[in-house]
């Protein structure tokens, strides 16, 4: 179990948490002593969203916690809101006295709220904090699945939060190897000049300017006869923009430009831990987009694994290049489903903001399934169109395609259209353009690196490939 969670069989004395909401009359006052009722009245407690009341017993110890869910339709009332309890309670052991809106999501949010990244503050490893606040998991919650979800998200958060001096292509490979070895998966890595020999010219071109060699990390797990599921994650460990150099302010968050790779590794962790009946493949093109004498240039024309020639309209549109080669490889074995994840465009953030990742797919039924599961998991996404008329925006006069759209419009869509050129027509393909960062802390989502979308995708994959 995660340190802050205890199994449902735990018999340790504990404090009950009672979830209350407006409109219940005085139901939340039932069973309280006169002193406790007076305390609530004196403090003006109302069961608004996120409100916590600590009620003492006759000896002054903690007897009961009330947690306000808020009214139906309140924007602050979400299934993740009980995550606020993780940082709002004194040391002790607690259990739910009644059911919140969703017991599983409440437990997940509680554990994810305890996440701390403190590797550089006190020397401890990043991860879920070993807190003195413990929650006994309700009997109707799948403890093992909660553990898989929290560990997968914590892994992704750790990778994203680690600064680029300690999370380059070498370190990302090491993290991938550690994950693979823990689940008995096979790993192969193609590095440096061998990328050219193996047919990955765009991955090589993007990463060749860095002293840290570019590479393609390839993980395989599961029964070879099972349905093939392939995850592809953008692993740009730092992005200067290349010769189209970003301004200083634009580089401050670029340690998270490998967020797509962190997310697919976190999702892979969940899938393998659950032993889902799939043949899983994870592809991570890991590079640093640096500046040196051999950096690729605006106006260059690159060859690709697909055979398409790509004119470089902007060296800061590098993520789609490395994904292009990786997606081509992914589709060569005709998997049942391909999902790529990337912190790909600022345009997606302008359109949808930091909390709502953009999802692209040409499969309407698959899109509906993703939306359904993301809604149920409270892990939101929003579908954007692969609007074919915009393909002309990435036309090139001298090559098959340009990596940067003209006119400044529809940047997230043209990036998705670019990637679509490297996906076979028969592949079920999903492209996720995510921010992978929490601007501020909320229940279950502390400020910093975030594994967006993968809880919803995990639910989708469990349903789609159920044993």
Q: Which domains are seen in the chain, by residue range?
A: 5-141 (3.40.220.10), 147-464 (3.40.630.10)
And the tokens for 188?
Answer: 């192969």
- Condensed to tens digits (0 to 9), the pLDDT of residues 181-199 reads 999 999 999 999 999 999 9
| Of the candidate ranges 34-48, 91-105, 179-193, 194-208, the one whose mean pLDDT is the lowest | 34-48
Residues serving a catalytic function are 246, 320
Residue 1 confidence (pLDDT): 56
And the tokens for 55?
Answer: 């009620």
Which pairs count as long-range contacts for 246-255, CB under 8 Å and 24+ apart, including other chains? 246/316, 253/437, 254/164, 255/160, 255/161, 255/162, 255/163, 255/164, 255/167
Instruction: Judge whether residue 23 has pLDDT over 80.
Output: no
Q: How would you class 71 by CB atoms within 10 Å of its CB: exposed for 0-12, middle for 13-18, buried for 19 or more?
A: middle
Q: Strands 429-433 and 337-342, how do they pair?
A: parallel
Residue 131 confidence (pLDDT): 62
And the tokens for 397?
Answer: 């006069």
Instruction: Determine the Cα–Cα distance for residues 335 and 337; give it in Å rounded to an integer.
Output: 5
- Condensed to tens digits (0 to 9), the pLDDT of residues 215-264 reads 999 999 999 999 999 999 999 999 999 999 999 999 999 999 999 999 99
Residue 467 confidence (pLDDT): 61
Instruction: Determine the Cα–Cα distance for residues 178 and 450; give it in Å rounded to an integer.
Output: 20
Residue 25 confidence (pLDDT): 64
| DSSP3 helix / strand / coil % (the chain, rounded to 5) | 35, 20, 45
Residue 123 confidence (pLDDT): 52
Residue 427 confidence (pLDDT): 75
The mean predicted confidence, pLDDT, of the chain is 95
Residue 194 confidence (pLDDT): 98
- Condensed to tens digits (0 to 9), the pLDDT of residues 112-170 reads 999 999 999 875 554 544 468 999 999 999 999 999 999 999 999 999 999 999 999 99
Instruction: Judge whether residue 274 has pLDDT over 60.
Output: yes
Tally of residues, the chain:
467
Instruction: Judge whether residue 72 has pLDDT over 90.
Output: no
- Condensed to tens digits (0 to 9), the pLDDT of residues 283-324 reads 999 999 999 999 999 999 999 999 999 999 999 999 999 999
Instruction: Judge whether residue 78 has pLDDT over 80.
Output: yes
Q: Of 6, 282, 261, 268, whose CA–CA distance to 151 is shortest?
A: 268
């Amino acid at each position: 179990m995660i340190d802050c969670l205890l199994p449902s069989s735990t018999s340790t004395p504990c404090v009950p948490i009672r979830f209350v909401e407006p409109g219940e009359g005085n139901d939340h006052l039932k069973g309280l002593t006169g002193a406790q009722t007076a305390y609530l009245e004196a403090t003006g407690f109302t069961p608004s969203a996120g409100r916590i009341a600590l009620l003492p017993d006759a000896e002054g110890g903690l007897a009961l916690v009330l947690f306000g869910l808020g009214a139906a339709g309140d924007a602050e009332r979400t299934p993740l809101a009980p995550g606020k309890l993780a940082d709002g309670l004194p040391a002790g052991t607690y259990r739910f006295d009644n059911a919140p809106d969703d017991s599983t999501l409440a437990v997940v949010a509680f554990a994810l709220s305890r996440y701390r990244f403190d590797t550089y503050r006190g020397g401890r490893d990043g991860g879920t904090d070993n807190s003195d606040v413990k929650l006994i998991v309700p009997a109707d919650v799948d403890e093992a699945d909660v553990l898989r979800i929290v560990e997968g998200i914590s892994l992704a958060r750790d990778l994203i939060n680690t600064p680029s001096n300690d999370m380059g292509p070498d370190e990302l490979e090491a993290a991938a190897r550690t994950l693979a070895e823990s689940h008995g998966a096979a790993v192969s890595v193609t590095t440096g000049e061998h990328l050219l020999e193996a047919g990955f010219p765009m991955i090589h071109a993007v990463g060749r300017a860095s002293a840290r060699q570019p590479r393609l990390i390839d993980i395989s797990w599961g029964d070879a006869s099972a349905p093939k599921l392939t995850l592809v994650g953008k692993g740009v460990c730092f992005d200067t923009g290349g010769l189209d150099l970003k301004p200083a302010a634009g580089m401050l968050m670029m340690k998270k430009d490998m967020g797509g790779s962190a997310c697919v590794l976190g999702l892979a962790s969940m899938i393998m831990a659950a032993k889902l009946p799939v043949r899983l493949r994870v592809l991570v093109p890991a590079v640093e987009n640096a500046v040196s004498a051999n950096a690729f240039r605006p106006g260059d024309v690159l060859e690709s694994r697909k055979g398409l020639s790509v004119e470089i309209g902007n060296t800061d549109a590098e993520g789609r290049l490395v994904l292009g080669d990786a997606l081509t490889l992914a589709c060569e074995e005709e998997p049942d489903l391909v999902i790529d994840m990337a912190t790909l465009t600022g345009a997606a953030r302008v359109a949808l903001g930091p909390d709502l990742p953009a999802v692209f797919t040409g499969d309407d039924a698959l899109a509906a399934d993703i939306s359904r599961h993301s809604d149920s998991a409270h892990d939101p996404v929003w579908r954007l169109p692969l609007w074919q008329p915009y393909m002309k925006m990435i036309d090139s006069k001298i090559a098959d395609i340009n990596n940067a759209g003209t006119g400044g419009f529809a940047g997230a869509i043209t990036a998705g259209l670019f990637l679509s050129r490297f996906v076979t027509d028969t592949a079920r393909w999903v492209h996720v353009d995510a921010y992978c960062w929490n601007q501020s802390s909320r229940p279950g989502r502390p400020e910093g690196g975030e594994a967006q979308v993968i809880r919803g995708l995990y639910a989708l994959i469990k349903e789609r490939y159920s044993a």
